[in-house]
Amino acid sequence: MEDVGRGLVDFVRDHQVWAAPVVLLLAFGESLAFISLLVPAWGVLVAIGALIGISDIKFWPVWIAAAVGASLGDWLSYWFGYHFKDRVAEMWPLSRHPDLLPRGQAFVQRWGIPSIYIGRFFGPLRATVPLAAGIFAMPYWRFQLANWTSALIWSAVLLVFGDVISRIVEWIWHAV
């Protein structure tokens, strides 16, 4: 998996015009229930954020692409939970991780709308919170408002974190 991530970062570095589409797909996969459990992409997103500071990659298109990808992944997860309800827990790979969905459900029931924001930043919750929100039929427009705004915040944090880390490393490299 590490080799795939490194390959994607190298591809984006060498073909910067593809940065936004690659980031959109990574954020979509990272936020999509089922897929995010198998392919965690946040590290690659941080690494691509690091490229922003040391290359000609523009922040705004990559940020918007990441937010759109993350929002679409969560929207599809919500839709899936809304339509398939309790049958979701029996589907692979959630059937192999029986504790994830109940944790996500308890989290959504306890925190409501803030759970969308909080869950966006925590791995296994990121995959299950939108699914649980759909299962419990959280009001659609409330979910979407939290979904899109949290995706904008989440994607900015990941990309800026990578950018800041690369600038610190560059500063240390030149200082030493």
Look at the chain and report how many structural domains it folds into.
1
Mean pLDDT, consecutive 10-residue stretches, the chain (176 aa), reads: 83 94 95 76 91 89 97 95 83 74 83 92 81 91 97 96 90 88
User: Which residues have CB under 8 Å from 90's CB, separation 6+?
Assistant: none
What is the pLDDT at residue 1? Answer: 59
What is the pLDDT at residue 88? Answer: 78
- Residue 124 domain boundaries: 2-175
Alpha helices in 32-139 (DSSP H): 35-38, 42-54, 59-84, 100-111, 114-119, 123-135
Closest CA to 31 of 119, 132, 140: 119
Give the span between the Cα atoms of 67 and 139, in whole angstroms: 21
